[in-house]
Structures are given as C-alpha cells and as structure tokens.
Structure 1
Amino acid sequence: MYGDSLLVTKTSVTIKKLKSKKKYYFRVKAYKKYGSRKVLSKKWSNVKRVKIK
C-alpha cells in the first residue's frame, strides 16, 4: 500500500490486507470541489503511525 492513493470522502476508513507485526504510516490531504474541478489543500496532515498487532 506504500505510495498508493486512496480517495475517502468520510472522516474514517478501514484499510484491509495489512500485514501483522508491521508499522504503517498514513497522512491525508483535504480538497474542495468547484464544479467538476478538485482543488487540493497545500498542506498534508501530520503523519499517523499505526502498528498492526
């Protein structure tokens, strides 16, 4: 999943098929829609580290 993009329109998401005993790092970027055009935020969120049991 590293380097892949995932479009989510909710405030939470469940990502399946992560391997156990590994650490994953996630960050998000917001966008607004103006008609059919997406305008991305300039900044990324802080990195969230998750360790899978």
Structure 2
Amino acid sequence: MAGVTAVAGFGLYWFQPWKLWQDETVREALPGTATTAPAAPTAPGAAPSGS
C-alpha cells in the first residue's frame, strides 16, 4: 500500500496535472513602445479642426 502511494505521489509530482489549467502567458507591452503616434500639437490660438 505504501508503494502504491509513493508511486502515485511521484506520478503527480512528475506530470503535474494542475498545470493544465494554469495560464502563464505574459501580455505586456515592451517599455518605450507606443501603439499610436501622438497627435501633432496645435498652434496657440488656432481653431480646432474638428468644428
């Protein structure tokens, strides 16, 4: 009985079935990268182009 328990424990440790449900994907942007370019600054006193 102790041998079966030891083999089962070793099998669980070796195959680690709980890792099937773990997501370790990292989805972070690299530092210093911009996804969109910043808008050009408007001149002081200029009317906004959206009106």
TM-score normalised over the length of structure 1: 0.20
TM-score normalised over the length of structure 2: 0.20
- State the structure with bigger RCO (CA 8 A, min sep 6), 1 or 2: 1
Q: Normalized per residue, which structure has more strand?
A: 1
